[in-house]
Structure 1
């Protein structure tokens, strides 16, 4: 990809940026790819996300509707559940599945916002589609940038521990040469900053909706060498594996072949997790560039910032890597919302929420709630932004597809205490998060919990009926 567009955009950074006195807030949507809930794990270095959290509400129990990139992103950006969009895989664009959809950025575009995308917002094959439009939705944006850095150009240097798997579904690592700004995610940050600066110089009274879509920490786990320094070899390890946990249905782990860890050694699994953490720290550095850009432009007090990952990620737990499970580690992912004047003191919210709630939330915060589509299937989180401990009785639903051998689609429901899973073949799982946060003991067959199983199964029945 030519760097000429970046050179032109970077020229805008040489000009002074007037602080806009817009009546409507800007929106900066920052998307990570395959980021697990590791921000509070000891040793994981994320100073810039920590900085954002001081003025954001951190949703500690935010759940995807489908733990796979395209279904999750399509659901969040449309405000519709996967069973409504019909998107269960990575090959279908949202506009093809739902031709009349008004996407989240499109709502802002239709109501006078400048909308722009840099990098992966709708689905991209990662790393295969880096530098392309992939499954983008042109009706969502006024401007787009598709950067590609040396990580894409130097894929031949990557060590792939799972040789039979392509890089996009591999356990593979590279301590890369070059600076942050030579890599794709560094170019995403630079491109988003340049678009913001250019827009503010040309249209200081018009609000923006800019989406920065980072490709890390999705595999291959590639980051500049400096980001590996907090994680010396041997300091990061996967949990021990002693065989498939008792009472766990085969459907739950059927996507990991060979099982466990796709057949890699313990040392290779450890190195993959180490490189994943380095990729998280690289992601964090680029988030910091965006936060600095807002500060430098005088826009921090006028910009809603959302940080979000499309789903969670396994890092060796229960012998699993990656996503597409219905366990907490796959279904839950980081979600932060900083709304000036609403979340200024920060806070932590333990209420279960869903990614489809982001659409009505942002519409509400920007004063576009009445103009949003009537059929949105989430609800505004504004009450929880104002009071993270407010009463909240909505559970969160996540689903994922399995082969016909296991009955097809499986569903889970998560409330404040319990996760209940029902697979298409009738197998069930029940986990008590008050006593068992790692979901090690399946209580579904325990007569002492029959009433809880009946109650949560009823919620799934109601969900399927709607």
Structure 2
């Protein structure tokens, strides 16, 4: 899994590419190689465009309103009963379940869900992340890049160390896995291309400044007729890199800054691609490729200046659209591309079916007292019939300014409603609320056939 990864990889070039007017195709040779032997989903949508809620949703196979995780601070097991997670289900079915890196993000500073793993993330790997941040990350966050001479000796980046750990685990597991004595579920969660965009200079060199895109004039600002009263100060890049604390509606960066940070973002995408390539090569070298399912995904998308935004947690297409591909030995080798609408709550039942484990039952309503069920649907039928319509829409949401923002992506349109929360003045608990559907404050409607960049709100 990669963090903050928009669906702009070489293998996704086509009519569902994030920027239909660009000539910039990122250098992602290893992910493109994986895609060529996978079921590649061109229209996969997260349920929530923020790390913690998105991961809690996809790893439990349930909608954010069921999990009641809408921010970075909430640990879902503290507000809900013990929902069975994807790695936990494999653990319960005899697999060795191993966590390396950022798979969960359940509360700031608390990445792990120990109940899900036989082997949680090693403490030394977590300590290394903290050490790296204090010694290297923050001092160079403004410049954006760490060149080889700026490293402390041969100090690895956290993602390089993560790859090293992952390779070591694969080497230790391979003999037992090939003998049929051990099955394993290995979760590898990369931090890049999350901010700050720091990686080796070699990856920056692949992207000359002059080759970088700028959003088209029509796409630089909020959509025409956008409800500016719903402006959400988008401070992630501005706060962490530019040290700004405000963001006015339609405030944009200079052309130079836009190209500079776009270049930095794609350099880090290429860096993650390189790390994934090392893992894919190791799986091949160890003789595991014919018996190992490989899935790659992002946790949500990212804006690169479109609609004046830099970051995630919006109801727009760029935030909710992210890569998803699955390679199943003996099934997807020839490569299959599907434009069917798929949601991230579909991942849990899909991976379980692909591995041949007992299927996950569909959730009843309500399902908060049911430990094992899913609100998703396996998308494996797309392997034989890629044009199958599995579902008419994909649902995303965010909590913003005391409003729940629901967005539906259909075949042609994106429709969004801003719904106020009704909360007791005496009770500040975020979970004690009701939705005021009779007081919807704003509506958005975008026609993706005529307006793929979402430049004109038709929901007046």
TM-score range, shorter chain: 0.7 to 0.9
Q: Quickly say closer, same or farther: Cα 1:355–1:173, change in 2 above 3 A.
A: same
Pairs within 5 Å for 1:9-408: 31-40=1-10, 42-123=24-105, 129=109, 134-143=110-119, 144-145=121-122, 146-147=125-126, 148=128, 151-152=132-133, 153-160=135-142, 173-177=144-148, 182-202=156-176, 204-205=179-180, 206-240=182-216, 243-250=221-228, 253-256=231-234, 257-259=246-248, 264-370=253-359, 374-404=372-402, 408=403
- Structure 1 equivalent of residue 445 of structure 2: 430
Q: Quickly say closer, same or farther: Cα 1:88–1:201, change in 2 above 3 A.
A: same
- Structure 1 equivalent of residue 427 of structure 2: none
Q: Offset at 1:275? A: 0.5
Q: Offset at 1:151? A: 4.9
Aligned counterparts of 1:59 and 1:91: Cα–Cα separation in 2:
30
Count the aligned residue pairs. Answer: 395
Give the match's secondary structure for 2:2.
strand
Give the match's secondary structure for 2:273.
helix
- 2:366 maps to 1:409: no
Give the match's secondary structure for 1:61.
strand
Q: Quickly say closer, same or farther: Cα 1:248–1:439, change in 2 above 3 A.
A: same
Aligned counterparts of 1:253 and 1:55: Cα–Cα separation in 2:
42
Would the aligned equivalents of 1:181 and 1:187 in 2 still touch at CA under 8 Å? no
Please, what TM-score do these two structures have when normalized by structure 2? 0.81
Q: Which runs of 5+ in 1 are unaligned?
A: 1-30, 161-171, 446-466
Bigger mean CA offset, 424-433 vs 346-355: 424-433
Give the match's secondary structure for 1:300.
coil
Q: Which runs of 5+ in 2 are unaligned?
A: 14-23, 235-245, 362-370, 420-439
- Structure 2 equivalent of residue 419 of structure 1: 414
Please, what TM-score do these two structures have when normalized by structure 1? 0.80
Aligned counterparts of 2:280 and 2:30: Cα–Cα separation in 1:
8
Would the aligned equivalents of 1:311 and 1:330 in 2 still touch at CA under 8 Å? yes
Would the aligned equivalents of 1:237 and 1:273 in 2 still touch at CA under 8 Å? yes
Would the aligned equivalents of 2:360 and 2:373 in 1 still touch at CA under 8 Å? no
Would the aligned equivalents of 1:401 and 1:410 in 2 still touch at CA under 8 Å? yes
Q: Offset at 1:216? A: 0.3
Q: Quickly say closer, same or farther: Cα 1:290–1:353, change in 2 above 3 A.
A: same
Aligned counterparts of 1:435 and 1:240: Cα–Cα separation in 2:
15
Q: Quickly say closer, same or farther: Cα 1:87–1:156, change in 2 above 3 A.
A: closer
- Structure 2 equivalent of residue 463 of structure 1: none
Aligned counterparts of 1:262 and 1:81: Cα–Cα separation in 2:
33
Give the match's secondary structure for 2:146.
strand
